[in-house]
Structure 1
Amino acid sequence: MKKVVLAFSGGLDTSFCCIYLTKDLGLEVHSVVVNTGGFSEEELIQIEKRAYALGVKSHRAIDSTEDYYRDTLKYLIFGNVLKNGTYPLSVSAERVCQATAIANYANKIGAESVAHGSTGAGNDQVRFDMIFNTIIPGVEIITPIRDLKLSREQEIEYLAKHGVEINPEKAKYSINKGLWGTSVGGAETLTSNQYLPEGAWPTQVTNTTPQTITIDFVKGEPIALNERQIGSVKVIQELQELAQPYGIGRDIHVGDTIIGIKGRVGFEAAGPLILIKAHHTLEKHTLTKWQLAWKDQIAAFYGNYMHEGQMHDPVMRDIEAFLTSAQQSVSGRVIVELHPYRFVIIGIESDYDLMSNKFGSYGEMNEGYTGDDVKGFAKIFGNQTNIWHKVNESVKGQ
């Protein structure tokens, strides 16, 4: 029997793939789940049990959480990346990491084919296919849901015929949880005018008491939460646990998909949104005007290209080098206040703060120049505009 490595999460689509690949295509299925911070140990055990119950030959859980942060999320923080000013790329960044790990695993066990449960109407199909084609060229890619054009109802019916029961209510919403946030897709996100109901959000609002927290950054990386140095991954995880019960970070993103249609997805990402805003505030105090300006432009491209699955293009390494270089003075503490459904950046403390009163206080007092210096500067700075008006007024008068 030919080996196929199946990207497996235990949900509806990948459960269908397990049965279909085994029963209909006669393949030896080796399932793999890539944990990017979205699964607990208990959940991973349940996923493994489900995989074997569905008839896989072997199952493997790959923990890529640290790799995910080091290779991807770190640069999204450096770049303050929010697609369309809203979405922290919770799923797209994760898929790049997962597809890479799955391709490497397929290569390791010598699989003749690799399979994923993407539909034909989303971004993931392109991300997975492109990365597989790059890392394991020549290995067959099998996509049952896409190729058969199946609806969720048809998948549930097929599984029932093979003795596998799926709770239709659970299948109503597609939920993807990871280190960088949780996405939620359902009937409402297929419309342009409906919002997700309260019960659809994975985390319910249980905390309404405001509290103040601190986040410490060193060279752009979050390393401490509330003065406890716990490392970047732990900061993200604990900040998420702390802020998510406030209902912070809930939103619906509307954007352009890789395949050319508009798409909507709900998400909750309290940790990522707070970290990006806190980091950006620290940068505004510690970087120069042109560092900030070029970072904004380059980071926007980086985020869009990552969203489209192009993480293995060498230009991404070039951009990462720039982003890393720009972080050398982005160190300090950010004070944040949490409230129900919102957060407030109170301020920052940093040895690299360019707002230092040694050089003056904006609107109050200057220490580095005189009034005469400003008069001369203003005259020279506006000289070309002044010349343009004089020349054009002269021409108009003829």
Structure 2
Amino acid sequence: MKKLVLAYSGGLDTSYCAKYLSQVEGFEVHAVSVNTGGFEKEEIASIGEKAVQLGATSYTSIDAVQTFYNKVVKYLIYGNVLKNNTYPLSVSAERIVQAIEIVNYAKKVGAQYIAHGSTGAGNDQVRFDMIFQTLAPEIEIITPIRDYKLSRQTEIDFLKENGVDLPWEKAKYSINKGLWGTSVGGEETLTSHAGLPSEAYPSQLTKNDPSDVKLTFEKGELIAVNGKKDSHVNNIEALEKLASAYAIGRDIHVGDTIIGIKGRVGFEAAAPLVIIKAHHLLEKHTLTKWQQHHKEQLGNWYGMLLHEGQYLDEVMRNIEVFLEDTQRNVNGDVFVTLHPYRFTLNGISSAHDLMSSSFASYGETNEGWTAEDAKGFIKITSNQGKIYNHVNS
């Protein structure tokens, strides 16, 4: 039989693929799901049972949460990456790691084919196909949903006709949860004017009294929450639990898709937004003006290229080296207060704080230069403007 690895989530599209490819096309289907955060053990077990019932020869769940952090998330933090100044790239970042893990698994088991359930109207088809083609050009990519332009009802009818009568009613809101945030889609995100109602978000407001949180960073990475040291992944999850109780991190992102159309997606990302903003504040105190200037540009490019599926381009490794090198002195505590639906950054404490300088206090005193030094500096700095105005007046 023709060995095929299917990127499997357990949803309608990939369930259709599992049944159709095994029963109609005669593939030996090996279903694989990649956990980049948000999956419980019971859920993974249920997904695996369903895959085998649908005709898969085997099911494998790959735990890639730590890999996701190491390969992608820490660089999104270093770069303070928010797509269109809004979105922490929750889903697009996950897809890259999932695609890499799936193609590596396919090569490991000697599969001649890889399949996924993406449609022809979204970003994921680009991300999956580009990773697959780059890492394994010899493996053929199979995409029934995209190729046959299948509707949801057509998929349901096929499954029912072949003895699979599971509840496929489309939920009012589609939820995709991961380590770096949760995407939320619904009828409101299909238009330009409507906001998502509160009940659409998975986390609801359960705390009203403000609470203070201390975030400790070492070389740009979150190493402790409220003085408790733990792994980077566990710290993100701990902060998510604290901040999501205040319904922090809700928003709607409007962006340009890889295929050229605009789209809207709701998201909930309490920990990512708090971490990025806290990290950025610490950098303002510990980095030079030009470090911050160039970091802002390269961080933006890193996020753009990641979103566009260009993760494997060597320029990404170049940018990662730059971003990591800038973090040597990004050490210290950031003091945050959590409120319902928002948070405030109160200040920082760091041995590398460039405000703690004996040279001067902004707007008040200076010890490192004289009044004559200042006047001479200002005169020379204004030369270019004076020359331009003299020539063109």
Report the TM-score when normalising by structure 2: 0.97
Between the aligned partners of 2:153 and 2:214, the Cα distance in structure 1 is 47
2-structure distance, mates of 1:211, 1:163: 53
Q: Secondary structure at the match of 1:358?
A: coil
Distance 1:57 1:234, change over 3 A: same
Conserved? CA contact 1:12–1:166, under 8 Å: no
Q: Give the TM-score normalised by the residue count of structure 1.
A: 0.96
- Residue 324 of structure 2 is matched in structure 1 by 324
List per-residue Cα deviations over 1:113-148 (Å, max 9, x = no partner).
011111110000000001000111121111111112
**CA deviation string 1:256-295 (max 9, x = no partner):** 1110111111111111111100000000000011000001
- Structure 1 window deviating more from structure 2 (70-79 vs 50-59): it is 50-59
Residue 207 of structure 1 deviates from its aligned partner by 1.9
Change (3 A) 1:321 1:75: same
Structure 1's consecutive aligned runs of 4 or more residues displaced over 4 angstroms after TM superposition are none
Aligned-partner SS, 2:358 = helix
| Partner residue, 1:283 | 283
Task: Indicate how the Cα distance of structure 1 residues 280 and 197 shifts in structure 2: closer, same or farther if over 3 A, else same.
Answer: same
1:254–1:262 contact (8 Å) kept in structure 2:
yes
Shift of residue 49 of structure 1? Answer: 1.7
Between stretches 100-109 and 52-61, larger displacement belongs to 52-61
Tell me the distance in 2 between the aligned counterparts of 1:113 and 1:205: 46
Distance in 2 (alpha carbons) for counterparts of 1:164 and 1:365: 77
1:21-60 counterparts in 2 under 5 A?
21-60=21-60
2:191 match = 191
CA distance in structure 2 between the aligned counterparts of 1:172 and 1:98, rounded to whole angstroms: 26
Mapped partners of 2:3, 2:169: distance in 1: 33
**Equivalent position SS for 1:193:** coil
Match of 1:365 in 2: 365
Q: Are 2:162 and 1:162 equivalent residues in the alignment?
A: yes
- Alignment partner of 1:372: what SS? helix
Distance 2:19 2:303 in 1: 36
Instruction: Name the residue aligned to 2:227.
Output: 227
Q: Give the deviation of 1:165 after TM superposition.
A: 3.6
Tell me by how many angstroms 1:205 deviates. Answer: 2.0
Structure 2: distance between partners of 1:157 and 1:381: 73
Deviation per CA, 1:293-337: give whole Å up to 9, x if none: 001111111110000111111111001011011111111111111
User: Residues of 2 paired with 1:350 and 1:192: CA distance?
Assistant: 43
Matches within 5 A, 1:1-398: 1-393=1-393
Q: CA–CA distance in 1 between the matches of 2:191 and 2:165?
A: 29
Q: Is this contact kept in 1: 2:23–2:55, CA < 8 A? A: no
Contact preservation (8 Å) 2:336, 2:347 = yes
Offset, 1:391: 2.8
Q: Aligned partners of 1:240, 1:165: CA distance in 2, in Å?
A: 37
Letter of the structure 1 residue corresponding to residue 148 of structure 2: L
Question: Post-superposition shift, 1:160?
Answer: 2.7
Which moves more between the two structures, 95-104 or 222-231? Answer: 222-231
Q: Which segment drifts farther, 186-195 or 104-113?
A: 186-195
**For 1:131 and 1:17, how far apart are their aligned partners in 2?**
20
Give the residue type in structure 1 aligned to 2:202. P
- Structure-1 separation of matches of 2:244 and 2:160: 36
Q: CA deviation at 1:56?
A: 1.1
User: Any conservation in 1 of the 2:30–2:58 contact (CA below 8 Å)?
Assistant: yes
The one-letter code matched in structure 2 to 1:288 is T
1:170 deviation in Å?
4.7
Name the CA shift for 1:259/1:12 in 2 (closer, same or farther; >3 Å): same
Distance (Å, rounded) in 1 between the aligned partners of 2:145 and 2:173: 17
Shift of 1:168: 4.8
Tell me which amino acid in the other structure corresponds to 2:181.
G
Give, in angstroms, the shift of residue 184 of structure 1.
1.4
Instruction: Work out whether residues 282 and 348 of structure 1, in 8 Å CA contact, stay in contact via their aligned partners in 2.
Output: yes
Three-state SS of the structure 1 residue aligned to 2:277 is helix
Offset, 1:25 = 1.2
CA RMSD across the alignment? 1.3
CA spacing shift, 1:378–1:166, aligned 2, 3 Å: farther
Equivalent position SS for 2:343: strand
Change (3 A) 1:169 1:250: farther
Q: Which moved more, 1:317-326 or 1:148-157?
A: 148-157
Whether the 8 Å CA contact 2:14–2:116 is kept in 1: the answer is yes
Cα displacement (A) at 1:364: 1.7
In 2, are the aligned partners of 1:12 and 1:171 still within 8 Å (CA)?
Answer: no
> Alpha carbons of 1:16 and 1:171: their partners in 2 closer, same or farther (altered >3 Å)?
farther
Q: Deviations over 1:52-101 (max 9, x none)?
A: 22221101111111111111111110000000000101011100000000
The secondary structure found in structure 1 opposite 2:285 is helix
C-alpha distance after superposition, 1:1-32 (max 9, x if no partner): 21111111111211111111122212111001
Counterpart residue identity of residue 158, structure 2: Y
Q: Which has the larger displacement, 240-249 or 98-107?
A: 240-249
- The sequence identity of aligned pairs, in percent, is 61
Q: Is the deviation greater in 158-167 or in 262-271?
A: 158-167
The residue type equivalent to 2:233 in the other structure is: V
- Contact 1:332-1:350 at 8 Å conserved across structures: yes
The one-letter amino acid of 2:137's match is P
Give the secondary-structure state (helix, strand or coil) at the position aligned to 1:379.
helix
Give the number of aligned pairs. 393
1:68 is matched by which residue type in structure 2? F
Most deviating of 364-373 and 269-278: 364-373
Letter in 2 for 1:328: R
Structure 1: gaps (5+ residues) = 394-398
Residues in 2 aligned to 1:124 and 1:296: alpha-carbon distance in whole angstroms: 26
Contact 2:12–2:168 under 8 Å retained in 1: no
2:26 alignment partner AA: G
